[in-house]
Structure 1
Amino acid sequence: MATPETSHQIREFRSFAEFYPFYLSEHSNDTSRRLHYVGSSLVLLILLWAIISGNAWWLLAIPVAGYGFAWIGHFFFEKNRPATFKYPLYSFLGDWVMFRDMLTGRIRF
C-alpha cells in the first residue's frame, strides 16, 4: 500500500517521452493547466518586451511569472508539489510541450 510519503519518491525516467505522461498526470486540474498557460504566455511576452525595449532587467520577471502562476496551480488546485523540485530539466521541457499541446488543441485548457 502506497503512503503519501512513498507516492512522492523520486522515480527514474529514462527519457522525456517516458516522463511526459507522468508530468501530465501531475497537471490534471483544468485551473492549474490554465495558470500554467498564463504563466508561460507571460514568460514569452516578457522576453519579447525585454528584447524590444533593450532592457534586460525585465528578464528578472520571467521566473516570477513562469513559476508563480504554475506553483499557485499546484499548491491550491492540484494539491501537489511541482515536479520542478524533483525533475527540473524534464519539468521545464514539460511546461513548454504542454503549452504547445494546449495551443494546438491536443490538451484542453
Structure 2
Amino acid sequence: MEFRSYREFWPFYVLQHSKLATRLWHAVGTSFVFLLLILTGFTGKWWLLLLIPVIAYGLAWFSHFFIEGNKPATFGHPVWSLRGDFHMYFLTISGQMGAEVERVKKLYAEKK
C-alpha cells in the first residue's frame, strides 16, 4: 500500500491497531523505550540502548502476530510506523486512542 504522507498513513496505522490489547502491548514497549533512555542517562551504561528495539519491537510484533492477527506496519513503512507508534502512545496514555479508532472506522465505513 502506498502513502504520500503521514496524514494518509495514519488511518491505515490506526486500523492495524484496532484491538485494545494490541495498543496496550505497544504502550508497554514504548514505555520501556523511555525507561531505558532514562536508565542509560543515569547509569552511563550505553549497552542498555541495544535493548530498546528488542523489547519495543518484540512486544509490538507479538501483539500483531498473536492478538491483532496482522503483519506489523513496520515491515512496509518503518519510519511512519515509528512516528505512528509514538503518536498512538500519547493518545493511548491520555485515554484518547479508543475514540480515534472509532473515528477512523467510521470514516472508512462512510467511504464504502
Q: TM-score, normalised by structure 1?
A: 0.87
Q: Partners of 1:38 and 1:103 in 2: how far apart?
A: 10
Q: Who is 2:95 aligned against? A: 105
Structure 2 residues without counterparts, runs of 5 or longer: 99-112
One-letter amino acid of the counterpart of residue 48, structure 1: I
**Are 1:50 and 2:40 matched, yes or no?**
yes
Distance in 1, matches of 2:97 and 2:70, equals 20
Select 1:89's aligned residue among 64, 73, 79: 79
Q: How does 1:17-96 map to 2 (within 5 A)?
A: 17-96=7-86
Aligned with 2:97: secondary structure?
A: coil
The letter of the residue matching 1:20 is W
The percent of aligned pairs where both chains have the same amino acid is: 46
* Regions of 4+ moved over 6 Å: none
Structure ranking higher in helix proportion: 2
Any idea what SS the aligned residue of 1:12 has?
Answer: coil
Shift of 1:64: 1.0
Whole-Å separation in 1 of the counterparts to 2:37 and 2:52? 7
1:82 Cα deviation (Å)?
A: 0.2
- The separation in 2 between residues aligned to 1:34 and 1:72, in whole angstroms, is 12
- Among 6, 28, 35, the alignment partner of 1:16 is 6
TM-score (normalizing by structure 2): 0.85
How large is the Cα RMSD of the aligned pairs?
Answer: 0.8
Deviation at 1:63, TM superposition (A): 0.5
